[in-house]
Structure 1
Amino acid sequence: MSEKKEPNLWEGFKAFLMRGNVVDLAVAVVIGAAFTNIVNAVVKGIISPVVGAIGTKNLDHYSYCLKDPCTGSGDTATGVRILWGSVLGATITFVITAAVVYFLMVLPMAKYLARQEARRKAKEGTQEVIEVSELEVLKEIRDALVAQRGSGHDRE
């Protein structure tokens, strides 16, 4: 009997790393991290100052005091403070991220893929017409040869 050799740990790990989806995921994480820096810069450099024109320039300063007295910050704070400005800032960051991803990545890629699909379908349609016409020509040639052969046998 032949013994099945089990792959060793290193071979299994190497096969796992060489799968396409693992590499794609790693690239997506790296690109996502770099993209996060861009979005954070847009929020910090453009959106926060625009919002700050209405109130404070730092959204983290927006808060509501549930239980007085709300004094101090960090570990020395007293009272119960709701930091709704932080939630607002995170929400704005999320909406901007989603908008940038959609309008600069998803929408153009969807349009590109739709154009590629339309080209592929048009090419397939052309090939079908060519194939049909070639088939018809071959049938006509066959019929002509059969007709010639039939008429040639009649002479003999």
Structure 2
Amino acid sequence: MGMVSEFKAFIARGNVIDLAVAVVIGAAFGKIVTALVNGIVMPVLATLTGGVNVSEWKIVLDPATVDAAGNEVAEVAISYGMFIQSIIDFLLIAFVIFLFVKAYNRLKRAEEAAEETPAEPTEEVLLLREIRDSLRK
């Protein structure tokens, strides 16, 4: 089997296509959640913290200065605000995925329960069974 035909067989499998669709949808969903966090959650948090943007939170180790030649020397700081914002993004994405998986599992369990319950025999089947039992006597 040649390399091209093996690749075609690999791509044609349903799992690969499902995975590709999941990655594309996941990337789009990540953008939606990031927009939610940046546009709604963080401004509310900034309001609660006195107007300070969370992504700008930092610990300044060495403040910005001007050297003898008049050039500005940038500050040295540990910027932990972006890290906190990324954690909030992650937690929101994980929570929404959890809700989707929970709903999917509930639907799947309902379908499995419906498949497991045998259907009630129709009236014709009941009549045929009655005739069969009568003939045995």
TM-score between both structures, scaled by the size of structure 2: 0.77
Number of matched pairs: 128
The aligned residue for residue 77 of structure 1 is 74
* Stretches of structure 1 lacking an aligned partner (at least 5 in a row): 1-6, 145-156
Superposed CA RMSD: 2.8
Distance 1:117 1:138 in 2: 34
Distance 2:46 2:115 in 1: 51
Q: CA deviation at 1:136?
A: 6.5
Q: How far does the alpha carbon of each residue in 1:45-82 deviate from its partner, in whole angstroms, 9 at most, with x for none?
A: 110111110234532210113x3x2328xxx5343x22
Q: Which runs of 4+ in 1 moved over 4 A?
A: 133-139
Asked whether the 8 Å contact 1:48–1:57 carries over to 2, the reply is no
SS at match of 2:108: helix
TM-score between both structures, scaled by the size of structure 1: 0.68
Residue 140 and residue 91 in structure 1: after superposition, are their counterparts in 2 closer, same or farther (change >3 A)? Answer: same
Q: Which amino acid aligns with 1:90?
A: S
* Stretches of structure 2 lacking an aligned partner (at least 5 in a row): 66-72
% identity of equivalent residues: 32
For CA contacts below 8 A with separation 6 or more, give which structure has more relative contact order: 2
The aligned residue for residue 88 of structure 1 is 84
Distance 1:134 1:87 in 2: 72
